[in-house]
Amino acid sequence: MIHLDDFSVHVGQRAKVQHLTLRIPHATLHAIIGPAGSGKTTLLRALDLLGPHRDDARLSGTARVADTDIVALSAVRWPDPRVVATHRRRVGIVFAVPHPLPGSIFENVAFGARRAGVQGTTLTARVEEALRHARLWEEVHDRLDLPAARLSGGQQQRLCLARALAVQPQVLLLDEPCSGLDPISTAQIEETLRVLAGTMTCVLVTNSLAQARRVSDDTTFLLGGRLVETGPTAQLFTDPQDARTRDYVAGRFG
């Protein structure tokens, strides 16, 4: 589902991601770990085409994400907005800080699906399904007209997850989705991710090594924008092959 070969991301004169080669198959949960400045967030934004179109980032190498050649698309100065929109329906993203849209809970979740042409009872069912996947339906089903901004922080994060899921993406990118959340909300999101990983590709950027160990099938360790080591999570944490990985997972730096 995600195929990267010699993939780099430059922002200005600086290489934020350098010569990354990585395969992330369908129906897996892949964690990306590394200290601040290792290129984790830059990578996610590039995969969703946010980097080239909002950060003035330049992509090079080869990168196919959900059947889209994102390097070729990013090189087009004025890409067809319909092509970009199609890509972003296939590739959802959830950020560390929730950003609910103005309007009600229902309108927030329905936003992307409605723009994709989903209407009527199908749209209503899609919203309910997404809220159930995000473990939020039982808390809000009787007040869907409530302004989304009135939800708690943990509820807003799960709302943003539901909004991403309502367009039924093939790939879900998550950038520290549990940062600042209480343990209960964190557990709810982790449970959701494990379920979702059975049907879609999930890529989780996390600064919590414990979270990566709990939920991911495979883990990639980035350092200074470069891939140091990647492999099955259990192996990477218990028997890392690179001394830098060994030091990082042992807490000796980062």
Of 17-21, 104-108, 116-120, the poorest mean pLDDT is in 116-120
Q: Which residues are CB-neighbours of 129 under 8 A, at least 6 positions away?
A: 165, 166
Query: Could you tell me the pLDDT band of residue 116, with boundaries at 50, 70 and 90?
Result: confident
Quote the CA–CA distance of 206 and 112 in Å, as a whole number: 25
Helix or strand or coil: residue 7?
A: strand
Q: Is the pLDDT reported for residue 254 higher than 80?
A: no
Query: What confidence category does residue 232 fall into, taking pLDDT thresholds of 50, 70 and 90?
Result: very high
Q: For residue 54, what pLDDT is reported? A: 73
- Over residues 227-241, mean pLDDT: 97
Q: Is the pLDDT of residue 185 over 90?
A: no
pLDDT score of 74 = 87
Per-residue model confidence (pLDDT) at position 90 = 93
C-alpha to C-alpha distances, 33 to 68, 83, 88, 122, 221, nearest whole angstrom: 25, 31, 24, 38, 5
C-alpha dist (Å) from residue 154 to 93, 159, 180, 182, 228: 17, 9, 9, 7, 33
Q: What is the pLDDT of residue 224?
A: 94
Alpha helices in the chain (DSSP H): 40-47, 50-54, 70-74, 81-90, 105-115, 120-133, 137-140, 153-165, 183-196, 209-215, 233-238, 243-249
The average pLDDT across 157-175 equals 95
Phi and psi at residue 162, to the nearest 5°: -60, -40
| Tens digit of each residue's pLDDT (9 = 90 or more) over 89-99 | 899 999 999 99
3-state secondary structure of 150: helix
46-61 tens-digit pLDDT: 999 887 767 778 999 9
**Token digits of residue 169:** 């993406």
CA geometry: angle 230, 233, 239, nearest 5 deg: 80
Domains of the chain: 2-101+170-249 (3.40.50.300)
Model pTM score: 0.93
pLDDT above 90: residue 179:
no
Q: Within a 13 Å sphere around the CA of 184, how many CA atoms are in the beta-carbon half?
A: 6
Q: Give me the percent of the chain exceeding a pLDDT of 90.
A: 77
Cα separation, 39 vs 155, in Å, equals: 28
**Tokens describing residue 189:** 């999101």
Instruction: Give the per-residue pLDDT at 159.
Output: 95
